[in-house]
Structure 1
């Protein structure tokens, strides 16, 4: 099939830009999907972000039910292999245990994506059950950073991040239970929003009481694509218990204007964790960008008992993931995890978390409440909190200490090690607050480094408005205008 446009022209469009071309009949949705599929075919051997392309959806944009009248007009889109289900399509959750799992119904959020006009043409890689920091099991697949394939993309929305980072797709689906959108977006030079609790549906499969830590969302390379995704896909299913809130103004409209001058607190020394000197220096440089835009910027640390918060966080992740494994065992009538099908740390987590008491969970929740109130008080004084997205340099492929393939016998120790790397993302999940990673910095070795802006619960629009102001100020040139080694524009 003849390519619809050059790759340079392709990359000059964001998702809404391509949707406009489809809507104006310059291109068909099938031509755009075919070009996206060609981009996957040309890059996937190097970065391994896509598990499966749905050829029938490439050939016919209506196969999976995309609404041609939606704001994305049939734009090709990839679904992470975890979270919302798509009827009749495999969802294997990065696990040999789940091989061949084929859901029979759509999740509610999937129906919203379809109504928005997103044509789901592929599923993307994830570590097993989304638990660890990298989609890196050599027996299954190893997802690599498009900026340097010797390094990980991080995760758990690994495949979606590398496909957006490499320019193959303008936008893709992600999930975020502790940073799993923001971290890989930051590592791959993309934009990643973890929305406020009460934005996206978790129906029908997730528990109203234990699944509110994790949320859904997207990874993109333009602020307006992320705004349009949230505008179109937000809202709860009938019977969901949370108050699914809606802003008074669409995010797409809100980002058209700059925010008023904001008070921005900058920090990276969170309890026992802090950024490397280079990352701290990049944080200071990025803070100056916000200051130059007219905002009041000051180094200030929220009055939070971070050690208590991280301890409760560890209890949360061990007990939540233990029940994830437990529920999957029940599906097959098993009492213990099969060691040849489930990765070692996920078995250790199950062992150490499955018998947690109600008292332990109640104490954890009290710590969450205290942490959330402390951040709430901070956001009464400050409009925005600016931190790095990660505290350490992106790991090389094969760094097993962060993987669920590790032989570390202690889930407590393993999670504590993770927090040293991902210090600034999980507390948003525990408190329900939004965080947005922006590709504004770089590591010493040239790999992208995300910088994260946080605000009060329900303030997602303000984050996007501030991000759009920055985007305009830099002429849309995220990553200082640099491109990764693996990128579709190199195919011209």
Structure 2
């Protein structure tokens, strides 16, 4: 099938704009799916972001139940290979152990995606079980940053972030258990929102109560796409353990208005961790930018027990991932993780957490409660907490200290390394509050870098409203209007090399 439009035209359209073309009958869902596939074929050998394209859906976008009258009207959508399941499709979770795994049901959120008109046409890379910071197992794939192939995309929503950044699709699915939406958004130049607890359902196999820290979400290039995505895919399934948030005003309307004057607390020194000078310089620029928009900006460290926060998140990760691996082993009639199929740190996490007691989990949840209460009290004084998305620059591919391929014998030392770079995002997962990474900054090496805003629970709309105000002030030019080295607009140039 011939390309529907030039790659410059394709890259200029966000998901909302592409859906409008489809509604006007100027494009068909199968045509835009084929154009996305051509982008994958042209770029994936370099960035290794997409694992599989669903060829049958390419030919018949309606066959799995996509709603052509949904807000996205057939826009191509890639699913991270982790989280919500698709009936009969492979979901291998970035693990050699899970090769060939085909879930028997659609998750509730999968059906919500289709109901919103998203055409689920493939799946994207993730590290094993989503545990670490980058999708880098050479036996499966090594996902690379489209801005510079020497650097990682971070993770765990690695392939989704790279696909959106490279212009292949305007929107993709992502998940976040400690920053896995916001961190790859930050280093790939995308917008990434981790919503409040009680926005996206984890049904039927999970719930917010059971998963504790995990959240679903997406990566986009515009605020209006993120607003429409959350607005039209949110909501609880029957039998949820907690109420689900609904805004007083639809996000797609809210973002058209600037927020009032906001009280913004800016910081980067969290417990034992702090950002590097070049990142602090970018944070200072962002703070000044927000001040010029009329907001009250002050440098002040949140009154949170950060040592307790990192300790509690570490315990949650160990217990949750150990339980996940245990359930997989039981399903395969295995007693221990095979060393040739499961990565070293995942095995050590399983060993550390498999005998955790109820009292240990209750203690962890008590810490979560304490942290949630103190953070909420801080938001009585401040509307927004502003930090960098990460404390350290984007790692080079192969930086094993952050990977589950690491030979570090200590699980706790490995997590300490993780928090030293991903210092600011996990508090949102502990407390169930929303956080957003916005592509406002640039590192000295030219890579994009995200600025990270947090708000109190249920105030996702405020983060989107602030993001929309910033987007207008930038005239829509996130990343200073720059595009990555590997990008659909450069396909023909790259093919001539």
Shorter-chain TM-score: which interval?
over 0.9
Write out per-residue CA displacement over residues 169-211 of structure 1, whole angstroms, 9 at most, x where no aligned residue.
1000000000000000101000000000000001111255331
Q: Distance in 1 between matches of 2:190 and 2:68?
A: 26
Q: Distance in 2 between matches of 1:241 and 1:330?
A: 26
Correspondence for 2:337: 337
Correspondence for 2:440: 440
Q: Distance in 2 between matches of 1:375 and 1:317?
A: 21
Matched, 1:349 2:367: no
SS at match of 2:257: coil
- Kept in 1, the 8 Å contact 2:79–2:173? The answer is yes
The TM-score, its normalising length taken from structure 2, stands at: 0.98
Further displaced range: 205-214 or 334-343 = 205-214
Q: CA deviation at 1:409?
A: 1.0
Matched, 1:315 2:315: yes
Correspondence for 2:413: 413
Q: CA deviation at 1:212?
A: 2.9
Correspondence for 1:491: 491
State the Cα RMSD in Å: 0.9
Correspondence for 2:495: none
SS at match of 2:380: helix
Q: Distance in 2 between matches of 1:460 and 1:191?
A: 14
- Kept in 2, the 8 Å contact 1:65–1:119? The answer is no
Q: Distance in 2 between matches of 1:344 and 1:444?
A: 34
Correspondence for 1:395: 395
SS at match of 2:209: coil
Counterparts of 1:444-483 in structure 2, within 5 Å, are 444-483=444-483
Residue segments in structure 1 that go unaligned for 5+ positions in a row: none
Poorly superposed stretches of 4+, deviation over 4 Å: none
Matched, 1:106 2:87: no
SS at match of 1:123: strand
Counterparts of 1:208-219 in structure 2, within 5 Å, are 208-219=208-219
Correspondence for 1:376: 376
Further displaced range: 202-211 or 338-347 = 202-211
- Kept in 1, the 8 Å contact 2:196–2:432? The answer is yes
Write out per-residue CA displacement over residues 21-40 of structure 1, whole angstroms, 9 at most, x where no aligned residue.
00000111111111011011
- Kept in 2, the 8 Å contact 1:199–1:234? The answer is yes
SS at match of 1:381: coil
The TM-score, its normalising length taken from structure 1, stands at: 0.99
Residue segments in structure 2 that go unaligned for 5+ positions in a row: 493-497
Q: CA deviation at 1:64?
A: 2.3
Counterparts of 1:67-86 in structure 2, within 5 Å, are 67-86=67-86
Correspondence for 1:423: 423
- Kept in 2, the 8 Å contact 1:210–1:320? The answer is no
Write out per-residue CA displacement over residues 353-403 of structure 1, whole angstroms, 9 at most, x where no aligned residue.
111122222221221111111111111001111000000011101111100
Q: Distance in 1 between matches of 2:43 and 2:304?
A: 44
Change (3 A) 1:487 1:30: same
Write out per-residue CA displacement over residues 331-372 of structure 1, whole angstroms, 9 at most, x where no aligned residue.
112111111111110000000011112222222122111111
